[in-house]
Structure 1
Amino acid sequence: MKIGLGTAALGRPQYINVRIENCDNSNLKRFRQESFQVLEDAYNLGIRYFDTAPGYGLAEELLLEWLQTKDDDSIEVATKWGYTYTANFDANAKVHEVKEHSLAKLKEQWKFSKQLLPYFKVYQIHSTTLETGVLENEGVLNELVRLKKEHNLKIGITTTGTNQVEVIKKALTVFVDGEPLFDVFQVTYNFLDQSLLEIIDELQQQNKSIVIKEALANGRVFSNKNYPHYEKMYSTLENLAQKHNVGVDAISLKYSLQTIANATVLSGASNTNQFSENLKANYFMLSDDDIELLSSFKVSPDFYWDERKKLEWN
């Protein structure tokens, strides 16, 4: 089990989240410098798995710039294709990203992403859904196979939404030339949305790599008066945080690390202080009773994703 760094909050000044404090990201030059520093600090703290995407604004470009200062073949980069960032760093933008799962978009975004080689190890379809038909698009699937063979890549999907499990099941049936296409599954998982558990045994039996995103439920694990229905969860998290002398973030990350064997769990930290706090998850263990208690806060995927849709870009 390990922690990786997701770069969504490093590449674009606004992200879907519950933000407790005010934050000014309007100075793009300073934002770039600070994000670059987080990459460097994460590396110095032992992180070697970095997850990015063209849909994350500057993130791919920034990561490429940072990688050019490195010579370390233990670094692994995962990126994605299928979303285009459209907000142009405007805090008031109505649309921040546009999804397109076409062969043309794959070829267009590959042109930049391939510069991340040789650190580039995992290529994922960003927010795979049944609706876009991408898992049945022969042109796309054949191109992914070609890239997989030519560049020794692992091919993956990321999933979002109420039917994550259905999408994963469909992806497991995708074979090209008699070989399964997908090796890596990046899935939303935390003690509120535990739907991954429905399919985890099958994924592990097939030796698939699991990457966990949104382990902090987009900030909903932090005490917030706008969510009175989570009062018991908040007090439980505070008690566990005190017991282990860490923050609520570390408790939440540890839950994912302990309940999904051999997973990589992504931190979405936007600064080094947050990231250092996240890494405290590596230095304690939750008891079986702790895990059981946290698991009791499960909500239905419909409730979880309906609530998430109401979160703002900030």
Structure 2
Amino acid sequence: MPFARLATATTPTCHIGLGLAAVGRPGYINLGRDHDLGEDRSVESLRTRTHELLDAAYAQGVRYFDAARSYGRSEEFLAAWLKARPDIDDIVVGSKWGYTYTADWTTDAERHEVKDHSVQAYERQRAESTELLGDRLDLYQIHSVTPDSPALTDKELHAKLAEAAAEGVTIGFSTSGPAQADAIRAALAVTVDGEPLFRTVQSTFNALETSAAPALTEAHDAGLTVIVKEAMANGRLADPYAPDQLKAVAEETGLGCDAVALALVLRQPWAGVVLSGAATITQLASNLHAAVVDLNEDQLTRLTALVEEPGAYWDRRGQLPWH
């Protein structure tokens, strides 16, 4: 598996990855984007920003980079960065298929992405990803699997994914919604010729939403690499939006709310890679301090009190505006 490369990494930040959802397209649901990105969200501006973030992340030990077909031009930006740096061969590149970006580089589209887990969508998007990333694509994930997703039962799709795995691409899936645990367990049961199909799982887990933890433990125990997304709850755990309990713990550590929130996830024994969704170099630097945060039992107890009921958490997330 490509994530075995991280086992030999020497920097404390090697298990923090950089996700490109926030910088691959002008509109997203993260809080604070007006401050983070400003008014200039042209393709060239976000390409430059993405490359600067990738440079900074790599220089500080980050070795996993995460894109998706629905993240605007994230694959294109990442591919251009890789092409300009042919000597970089110690990273893991992941992307996702299953959503199509439909906002046409605007922030006020009626629909920003359309979900489709069919074989036809996979074949189209796999070709698009391959055209951009070529053999640099290590991991290809089904984007946002839910318990009712046809991707869990479509045998033709499973066979196509198994073909990609035989060609050397690691196959994984991501999850979203209040029933993440059910989706994870269903995916763990998917096999092709008696062998498990999926080798990675990417799920939402953070101080507010912890419901997937038991299933992620099962996935880890089954040999899957666990990638954690939305560890910052789309900005709800960052200054100035963070809950008072988190702000108090952050003040005690002398670091930012973001570093504490990410550290809480990093300490989970099943967490293989935790994604930073930084949109600025300053945010990235602050996020990477998570690798050195040491939380005591009292602080952990106080942070545990932040957990929300999954339905309420995902309802709140669903109400966040694209901006």
TM-score range, shorter chain: over 0.9
Q: Distance in 1 between matches of 2:184 and 2:270?
A: 18
Q: Distance in 1 between matches of 2:119 and 2:75?
A: 20
Q: How many aligned positions are there?
A: 306
Q: Secondary structure at the match of 2:22?
A: helix
Aligned to 1:296, which of 272, 281, 305? 305
After superposition, give the CA deviation of every residue in 1:44-90 in whole Å (9 maximum; x if it has no partner).
Answer: 12111000011000100010110112222211001111111010111
Q: Per-residue deviation at 1:170?
A: 0.5
Q: Distance in 1 between matches of 2:34 and 2:243?
A: 18
Classify 1:20/1:78 alpha carbon distance in 2 versus 1 (closer, same or farther; 3 Å).
closer
Matches within 5 A, 1:41-190: 41-70=56-85, 71-114=87-130, 115-150=132-167, 152-190=168-206
TM-score, normalised on structure 2? 0.90
Moved more, 189-198 or 108-117: 108-117
Q: Where in structure 2 are there 5+ consecutive unaligned residues?
A: 1-13
Matches within 5 A, 1:182-201: 182-201=198-217
Matches within 5 A, 1:237-248: 237-248=246-257
2:244 aligned with 1:235: yes
Matches within 5 A, 1:281-292: 281-292=290-301
2:28 aligned with 1:15: yes
Q: Secondary structure at the match of 1:79?
A: strand
Matches within 5 A, 1:218-229: 218-222=234-238
After superposition, give the CA deviation of every residue in 1:267-314 in whole Å (9 maximum; x if it has no partner).
Answer: 001111111110011122111222222112111110000111110111
What letter matches 2:182 in structure 1? E
Q: Distance in 2 between matches of 1:256 and 1:116?
A: 29
What letter matches 1:288 in structure 2? E
Q: Per-residue deviation at 1:248?
A: 0.5
Aligned to 1:3, which of 3, 10, 16? 16
2:42 aligned with 1:34: no
Q: Per-residue deviation at 1:131?
A: 2.7
What letter matches 1:101 in structure 2? H
Q: What is the match of residue 215 of structure 1?
A: 231
After superposition, give the CA deviation of every residue in 1:244-269 in whole Å (9 maximum; x if it has no partner).
Answer: 22110001000000124442000001
Could you say what the CA RMSD is over the residues aligned between the two structures, in angstroms? 1.7
Does the 8 A contact of 1:75 with 1:119 survive in 2?
A: no
Q: Secondary structure at the match of 1:98?
A: strand
Q: Distance in 1 between matches of 2:298 and 2:28?
A: 34
TM-score, normalised on structure 1? 0.93
Q: What is the match of residue 24 of structure 1?
A: 39
Aligned to 1:267, which of 272, 276, 281? 276
Q: Tell which has more relative contact order, 1 or 2 (C-alpha 8 A, sep 6+).
A: 1
- Identity over aligned pairs, percent: 38
